[in-house]
Amino acid sequence: MASPQNEVDATARRGLRPRSDADLIAGLVFVAFGVAFGVASLGYTIGSLREMGSGYAPLLFALVLTGLGIGAIVKAYVSPDTHHPGELPPEDGSVGLGFERVHWRPIVFVVAALLFFALTVDGLGLLPATFGTSAIAAFAGKGMAPFRALLIAVGLTVGCYVVFVLLLQLRLPLLGEWLG
Amino acid sequence: MDLLDNLGLGLQTALQWQNILFCLIGVALGTAVGVLPGIGPTATVAMLLPITFSFDEPVSALIMLAGIYYGAQYGGSTTAILINLPGESSSAVTAIDGHQMARDGRAGHALAVAAIGSFVAGTIATLVLAVAAPPLARAALNFGPAEYFALVVLGLIASITLASGSTVKALAMIVLGILLGTVGQDIYTGTPRFTFGIRELYSGINFVSVAVGVFGVAEILRNLHDPQRRTKMVDKVTNLWPSREVLRSIVGPVARGTGLGSVLGVLPGGGHVLASYASYAVEKRTSKHPEEFGRGAIAGVAGPESANNAAAQTSFIPLLTLGIPAHPVMALMVGAFIIQGITPGPEVMTSEPELFWGLIASMWVGNLLLVLLNLPLIGLWVRMLTVPYSVLFPTIVTLACIGTYSLGQNAFHVLAIAFFGLLGFVLLRSGCEPAPLLLGFVLGPLLEENLRRALLISKGDPSVFLTRPISATLLALAALALLLAVLPTIRRKRETVFVEGE
């Protein structure tokens, strides 16, 4: 876990590269959200301190967020990461792993599974959507065999049917309009 | 005697058979998911939250959620002892000596001591909660908007003081949460803000989507990235019941842990983490054999576990009396209250006495159930540890989808999970803790409302926050908390420089 951090430190000495990818990306995300919210809040009534309009507080917070984001970006270039090299980062994820070794597979499949459910549950109904979602999500792990994914999907669909429909009695459409 | 009447009323509610059942399901589910690798209490509660929305009785839903919470916490300490994998930061302390005991073949003792300590601490802390809550709630009824604003600021700032990691990023996460909380209709003017004309956003971004996305999905993605965190596990647990000498030796640690935990649990932002660390430090210092610590000292398990559990109970105090969540799980409870149509705050005690006291009494019932359920079932929990990731993650994703969809049968909320899951993942990889974002999201509307109201009353004079004594005190405390949050960063930086200079 410490090695990518060291590599980042090493590259940092070679030129004006960020010492901490984590700080840089966090900062960019914050600035992006800050600017977006800030610009959008200009479209609403700002008002005065005495009578704040709809846009006052959001604009204020957007400015603060942009400022903090810039702070994180600056920090990415000037200061070393506060994390001790050689020490495992804590479980709660308070120290970033950076983006050195991002595996796309789990991200793609987990997000695809969520999107599949969101887009098909109204049309196909609960059971087919559950089946598809669990099958897609199963492929998020490395080396998943198709037959095993099928087994997992069947098991989960039956399990969810028992828990949500039979036990919790949620009134959800089991088969959607696309299937007649 | 008011207290006895109130507790009686609470027990009446908590001991209704369906509430006992919900409590039992809650602690069992909570323990089960808490034991599963890689999912801590916050993610557990976030993902199981939607299940409770279909309940008719708000009190049953809240009892079950509370059960899930301390069940998950308990499950976390079980994994800390057995496989050195603490479910969350507060059980990290338990892992130090607990796992060492397990390696020496004393896993049974460690688990039993953790359970007994937790139960005793939970019982006492529940009484503390029952005694302390009413006067606090009465005091809070006199709070004006300026005081509430200051209180929310203090809560938010304090939540990052005890957390690890960069202060700048944690502050930014809070503000990002607040901004996300402004989406939806403005409570004063009714203007829809940042909705892009999407009908679903008029009532604001769904709380469950944010919680499940940021805590659930983001955590799955992180776990699929580095699954090597699993270590060899202890597969057999024997010798569960400790001898009388062992029991006698833990009386002191449990008592001290309970005291520390009850006091520190009230603090916003991870008081329970501080409590278990503090208890460990105290036990080590007062022990006659400090050299045993780190090599399987039983006091190193009993003390922190009691402190942790006592703090888990008393962390309900700010939620129930002020409506201010002390940590992310309590923020989830706020969401549950609101979805059940109840605004958490000082009024709940008088307007919903059955719910208020029923919830408190159910915590004690839940703690009892935990002991009864978990000691005999420890073999089952051990076996749950062997559930492979390949089955676990599709299950979580599917449960999250169905649960969130069942909220008003709206697929938009599931889309939102994907968005927040991705956002949460990117932020997690960049070293930003998700907890402050969630607290900001929940408390943001309260912050804005009271800011605007206070300034309206003071005719636009911002000095109102500093001239009213309670508000000024709270803000001064917030400033102090911020200072404390910044200081360790400076110190650690010096250390890093020092290490590099070698």
List the one residue out of B119, B117, B127 whose CA is nearest residue B254. Answer: B117
Q: What count of other Cβ atoms lies within 10 Å of the Cβ of residue B187?
A: 12
Residue A78 is predicted with a pLDDT of: 79
pLDDT tens-digit map of B408-467: 788 898 999 999 999 998 998 888 888 889 889 988 888 998 999 999 998 888 888 998
Amino acid at A62: A
Residue B39 is predicted with a pLDDT of: 66
Contact A160, B398 (CB under 8 A): yes
Inspect the interface and report whether the beta carbons of B402 and A130 lie closer than 8 Å.
yes
**Residue A32 pLDDT class (50, 70, 90 cuts):** very high
DSSP output for A62-76: HHHHHHHHHHHHHHH
List the one residue out of A114, A138, A110, A126 whose CA is nearest residue A168. Answer: A126
DSSP output for chain A: -HHHHHHHHHHHHHSS--S-HHHHHHHHHHHHHHHHHHHHHTTS--B-SSSB-TTHHHHHHHHHHHHHHHHHHHHHHHS--SSPTTSPPPTT--S--TTTT--HHHHHHHHHHHHHHHHHHHHH-HHHHHHHHHHHHHTTSTT--HHHHHHHHHHHHHHHIIIIIIIS-----SS-GGG-
Half-sphere exposure of B261 (CA within 13 A, CB side): 37
Residue A123 is predicted with a pLDDT of: 87
Q: Which has the higher per-residue pLDDT, B381 or B233?
A: B381
Highest average pLDDT, of B52-66, B124-138, B381-395, comes from B124-138
Q: CA–CA separation, B18 vs B16, rounded Å?
A: 6
Average pLDDT over chain B, rounded to whole?
82
Interface of B with A in 85-144 (CB under 8 A): 86, 88-89, 92
Inspect the interface and report whether the beta carbons of B224 and A106 lie closer than 8 Å.
yes
Q: Which two tokens stand for residue A171?
A: 């009134």
Q: Which of B326-330, B372-376, B496-500 has the lowest mean pLDDT?
A: B496-500
Q: Which of A41-45, B2-6, B227-231, B272-276 has the lowest mean pLDDT?
A: B227-231
Contact A38, B179 (CB under 8 A): no
The verdict on B495 touching A (C-beta cutoff 8 Å) is yes
List the one residue out of B274, B366, B302, B282 whose CA is nearest residue B113. Answer: B302
Among the partner-chain residues B176, B186, B397, the one whose CB lies closest to the CB of A65 is: B176
Q: Above 80 in pLDDT, residue B90?
A: no
Residue B86 is predicted with a pLDDT of: 67
C-alpha separations of A122 from B67, B152, B479 in Å: 33, 40, 50
Contact A52, B457 (CB under 8 A): no
Q: Above 60 in pLDDT, residue B212?
A: yes
Inspect the interface and report whether the beta carbons of B406 and A172 lie closer than 8 Å.
yes
CA distance A34 to chain B (A): 8
Q: Which two tokens stand for residue B346?
A: 């000082």
Q: Which has the higher per-residue pLDDT, B345 or A41?
A: A41
Q: Which of B401, B413, B427 is most worth mutating to test chain A (most A CB atoms within 10 A of its CB)? A: B401
Residue B429 is predicted with a pLDDT of: 83
Among the partner-chain residues A49, A156, A168, the one whose CB lies closest to the CB of B394 is: A156
Inspect the interface and report whether the beta carbons of B415 and A138 lie closer than 8 Å.
no
Q: CA–CA separation, B31 vs B34, rounded Å?
A: 5
pLDDT tens-digit map of B328-359: 888 888 888 887 888 888 888 888 888 888 88
Q: CA–CA separation, B119 vs B266, rounded Å?
A: 19
- Stated as kind and residue range, the H or E segment containing B134 is helix B107-141
Residue B235 is predicted with a pLDDT of: 56
Which residues in chain A touch residue B171, judged by CB atoms under 8 angstroms apart?
68
Q: CA–CA separation, A96 vs A82, rounded Å?
A: 11
List the one residue out of B426, B178, B150, B423 whose CA is nearest residue A63. Answer: B178
Chains A–B, number of C-beta pairs less than 8 Å apart: 260
pLDDT tens-digit map of B141-162: 888 889 989 988 988 887 777 6
Mean pLDDT calculated for residue range A155-172? 81
Q: What count of other Cβ atoms lies within 10 Å of the Cβ of residue B281?
A: 15
Among the partner-chain residues B88, B414, B460, the one whose CB lies closest to the CB of A92 is: B88
Residue B330 is predicted with a pLDDT of: 85
The verdict on A22 touching B (C-beta cutoff 8 Å) is yes
CA distance B2 to chain A (A): 38
DSSP-based three-state secondary structure for B354: helix
Inspect the interface and report whether the beta carbons of B166 and A23 lie closer than 8 Å.
yes
Handedness of CA A116, A122, A126, A128 (dihedral sign): negative
Three-point CA angle B70, B74, B274, nearest 5° = 80
Residue A94 is predicted with a pLDDT of: 39
Inspect the interface and report whether the beta carbons of B402 and A160 lie closer than 8 Å.
yes
State how far Cα B135 lies from the chain centre: 24
Q: Above 90 in pLDDT, residue A82?
A: no
Q: Which has the higher per-residue pLDDT, B473 or B487?
A: B473
Among the partner-chain residues B164, B222, B427, the one whose CB lies closest to the CB of A90 is: B164
Q: CA–CA separation, B288 vs B454, rounded Å?
A: 55
Residue B242 is predicted with a pLDDT of: 74
Q: Above 50 in pLDDT, residue A38?
A: yes
The verdict on A130 touching B (C-beta cutoff 8 Å) is yes
Q: Above 80 in pLDDT, residue B18?
A: yes
**Residue B228 pLDDT class (50, 70, 90 cuts):** very low
Which residues in chain A touch residue B500, judged by CB atoms under 8 angstroms apart?
80
CA distance B284 to chain A (A): 23
- Stated as kind and residue range, the H or E segment containing B383 is helix B378-384
CA-based nearest residue in chain A for residue B456: A50
**Residue A135 pLDDT class (50, 70, 90 cuts):** very high
Contact B435, A94 (CB under 8 A): no
Q: Which has the higher per-residue pLDDT, B88 or B58?
A: B58
Residue B89 is predicted with a pLDDT of: 65
Q: What count of other Cβ atoms lies within 10 Å of the Cβ of residue A144?
A: 18
- Stated as kind and residue range, the H or E segment containing B255 is helix B251-264
Mean pLDDT calculated for residue range A157-162? 88
Contact B312, B69 (CB under 8 A): yes
Q: Above 90 in pLDDT, residue A7?
A: no
Interface of B with A in 421-440 (CB under 8 A): 421-423, 425-435
Interface of B with A in 66-95 (CB under 8 A): 86, 88-89, 92
Q: Which has the higher per-residue pLDDT, B175 or B45?
A: B175
Q: Catalogue the E-assigned strands of B386-475.
A: none
Residues in chain A: 180
Inspect the interface and report whether the beta carbons of B193 and A58 lie closer than 8 Å.
yes
Residue A89 is predicted with a pLDDT of: 45
Contact B57, B15 (CB under 8 A): no
The verdict on B179 touching A (C-beta cutoff 8 Å) is yes
Mean pLDDT calculated for residue range B360-378? 83
Q: What is the largest CA-CA distance in chain B?
A: 69
Please state whether the predicted TM-score (pTM) of the whole model is above 0.95.
no
Interface of A with B in 96-115 (CB under 8 A): 96-99, 101-103, 106-107, 110-111, 113-115
